[in-house]
Amino acid sequence: MRSGWYTPFCLVLAGVLLLSPIGWWGPSVAKAAPSMEPFPSFSDTVRSAGMTVKTYGFEQGNSDGWKPRGAYTQIASVTEAAYGGTHSLKATARTAAWNRAELDVKPLLLPDLEYEISGYVKLDGNAAIPSVLKFTIEQQQTGGTTTWKTVAQAETAGTSWIKLQGRYTFTGEMNALKLYVENSNPAQAYYVDEVEIRQVSVTRTNPTSGIVSGFEDGTAQGWVSRLGAETVQVSNADARTGSYSLLTTGRQKAYAGPKLDVTTTMQKGSRYTVSAWVKLVSGEQPAKVRLSVQRDHQGQSAYETVVGDTTIATGGWIHLSGTYTFAHDADAVSMYLESPEGTSSFYMDDFELSLVPPLAIEKDIPSLHGLYQGQFSIGTAIEAFQTEGAYGELVQKHFNSVVAGNAMKPASLQPSEGQFHWEEADQIVQFARQHGLEIRFHTLVWHNQTGDWMFKDKNRQPMTPTAENKKLLLDRLETHIRAVAARYKKVITDWDVVNEVIDPDQPDGMRRSKWYQITGTEYIEKAFRVTREVAGPNARLFINDYNTHEPKKRDFLYNLVRDLLAQGVPIDGVGHQTHIRLEFPTIAEIEQSIEKFASLGLDNQITELDMGLYSNDTDRYETIPEAMLIRQAYRYQALFDMFTRQQEHISNVTIWGTDDGNTWLSTFPIARLDKPLLFDERLKAKYAYWELVDPSKVPPLPAESNE
């Protein structure tokens, strides 16, 4: 992807495995029907926060309602190991990673309440490679699909007790809820003890309808100074509506501004519209402002742009509006106004945060991937939250391939040296395996979204081009690739090994990234060779870039790949990002590039397809004209007609996003409404979809079109 964090951005086997989700290490879900006393319904009792719902210590010498899953799996209360008391539950005779102990928790849990689930797990003997131990809940939604939520996980290769602890909430009616203990190492026995389920919320956790801040009561209505140095106060000096607005002055940093805590309003997995009006204080020069979110989780903060940099002219109110999907775990969430630079004082009025009604897909329309069966697979880019709910249903219906939009990029997987964060990537992989979807990996090497530590020398100073630093950087590269490829080599076949290495403005065509400055082109060769060694001979390895239709850039990339192939570097294909617009490039230019790389005997994949509606970087529509959406539809058809012509040379076409509500183009190159994909923000099929499926449903091409 050309730009990274711009949006807050989801093999069916025969026989018995049809009912078993497949994790990255193999089958991981089982079914059982433990017999338990029914728990009183919510209407029968009101539980207090912190109430223990159930504990399992196995001290009575039985499995206490837990059941085995797997043809040969056995579970029993044993005395050979225990975290508390004298007994624990042991799972043995496991022949696959998904063989396990599980518990029916449907009688225990109520919708829209938050629970804390904790317990201790211990391996029976040292592991040759670290085991991933998990608490997972299988959800079988009434009238819907089966999904899986990881509650807690940890890695260990030793035999010490490991504590797993996490929180869990579900919404809607469920046919089944199963809590189970996963172990990524097949055939390895484990113990579990002191499992506790606690209710930690008193009231149901449904998100509120939203927040409206008009300041007409003369108070700041919860808005405070973000950094503490700036002054945030209600003012009657100016207002968009009514008599009052919120005035922020004394800003000493660009990221200083008014902040509102929205933790109790927002719920993970929900989508919100956000709107605010901003005006500069009299005397200030034109400036830019943006609306952002800060998420705090386990002592670390992450930042997301909701409405990108928007210019405010002197003397008028400007409207900031956008959508935000609360997609990640967080202990605290706040929204705030900031600027990319400068410290101008400004007013803010009529802030609104509103819950978007639940999404639903159109289930009675043709599946997109079915149209191209036997030609090429059809993929989409997703984030972990899109493996659930309506997004997950959309992906399952229309796509047979997925790629992680951000979760597998270097900074996501290894933000600091040696500290790997696998959870979101694993969730996407498990979802794909459960539903028979191919998986593309994006990306092992990139100059963006790579931890700063990667380019620091042994003294933690920025690297300079020395022999010592070259070796250190290449060693770090190899370590990263070996860890990632080893984890996913059995389930991922297509790998974006290096991403965006070409800069046509350089004399030799090579991007002057830190990678290139320190190692020359050796990092490219190293990356492909190590990936081949670890991922195996059946892995398909790609070099990926944008604007490959431009003749100058195309030829630089062609020459690089040709030379690397001559040196025996294992490159199997070229990834063409294909972020295009309504007006350009021509279909012929894209086709010529595909044919050129095919002449080297290489596969081609369209890796990040979207079609922006604007012809420049400055226009902005409040409402997209229907004529533009019709033209977009016809251009999509022409593009896919070309893909069909070139199907011998194309193995995959991946759309960069599920829907118009989840596109990086909402904030790049500026904050504006854009609709570049096949489904709208409500997951409804657009003209672009119908032109591919049933052109009779699309109005005639507008007369002024040149298509």
Cβ–Cβ < 8 Å for 631, 701: yes
704 as an active site residue: the answer is: no
Catalytic residue among 304, 350, 500, 674: 500
From the list 498, 445, 510, the residue with the least C-alpha distance to 476 is 445
Bridge partner list, 140: 146, 176
Dump strand ranges (E) for 356-467: 377-382, 401-404, 438-445
Cβ count within 10 A of residue 162: 20
At 106, phi and psi to the nearest 5? -60, -40
Cβ–Cβ < 8 Å for 630, 692: no
Residue for token pair 């298509």 = 707
From the list 473, 471, 485, 469, the residue with the least C-alpha distance to 530 is 485
Write b or e for each residue in 290-325: b if 16 or more Cβ atoms lie within 10 A of its Cβ, otherwise e.
bbbbbbeeeeeeeebbbbbbbebeeeebbebbbbbb
Give the single-character DSSP code of 19: G
Cβ–Cβ < 8 Å for 114, 167: yes
Letter for the amino acid at 581? R
500 as an active site residue: the answer is: yes
What is the rounded CA–CA span in Å between residue 287 and residue 311?
A: 6
Cβ–Cβ < 8 Å for 69, 180: yes
What is the rounded CA–CA span in Å between residue 674 and residue 612?
A: 6
What is the rounded CA–CA span in Å between residue 515 and residue 511?
A: 9
The CA angle 390-135-38, to the nearest 5 degrees, is 80
What is the rounded CA–CA span in Å between residue 321 and residue 517?
A: 41
Catalytic residue among 230, 572, 608, 674: 608
The string of DSSP codes covering 129-193 is S-EEEEEEEEEEETTS-EEEEEEEEEEESSSS-EEEEEEE---S-EEEEEEEEEESSTT--EEEE
Residues 667, 673, 676, 682: is their CA dihedral positive or negative? positive
From the list 165, 173, 43, 55, the residue with the least C-alpha distance to 112 is 173
From the list 511, 512, 591, 519, the residue with the least C-alpha distance to 557 is 511
Write b or e for each residue in 25-43: b if 16 or more Cβ atoms lie within 10 A of its Cβ, otherwise e.
bbbbbbebebeeeebeeee
Cβ–Cβ < 8 Å for 582, 635: yes
Quick one: how far is CA 405 from the chain centroid?
6
505 as an active site residue: the answer is: no
Residue 504 to residues 171, 430, 510, 561: CA-CA distances in angstroms?
Answer: 51, 39, 7, 15
Cβ–Cβ < 8 Å for 133, 121: yes
What is the rounded CA–CA span in Å between residue 402 and residue 392?
A: 11
What is the rounded CA–CA span in Å between residue 58 and residue 192?
A: 9
Write b or e for each residue in 350-371: b if 16 or more Cβ atoms lie within 10 A of its Cβ, otherwise e.
bbbbbbbeebebeeeeeebbee
Q: What's the residue count for the chain?
A: 707
Catalytic residue among 338, 424, 545, 610: 545
Quick one: how far is CA 625 from the chain centroid?
30
Structure-token pair, residue 447:
């100059």
Catalytic positions, written as ranges: 500, 545, 608
